[in-house]
Amino acid sequence: MSNMLIDYYKAIEDSSAKMLEAARQKDWDEVVRYEGACAVLIEQLRFEARQQDLAPEHRKEKARIMQRILRNDAQIRCLAEPWLVQFDHLFEGQPQVMH
Q: Where are the domains of the chain?
A: 5-90
CATH topology of domain 5-90: Methane Monooxygenase Hydroxylase; Chain G, domain 1 (1.20.58)
* pLDDT over threshold 50, residue 95: yes
Rounded-to-integer distance, Cα 94 and Cα 30, Å? 27
Q: Give the model confidence (pLDDT) of 48-88 as tens digits.
A: 999 999 999 999 999 999 999 999 999 999 998 876 666 66
Q: What is the pLDDT of residue 8?
A: 97
Write the pLDDT tens digit of every residue in 17-42: 999 999 999 999 999 999 999 999 99
Alpha-carbon distance of 7 to 15, in angstroms, equals: 12
**Which tops the pLDDT comparison, 53 or 1?**
53
Question: pTM for the full model?
Answer: 0.79
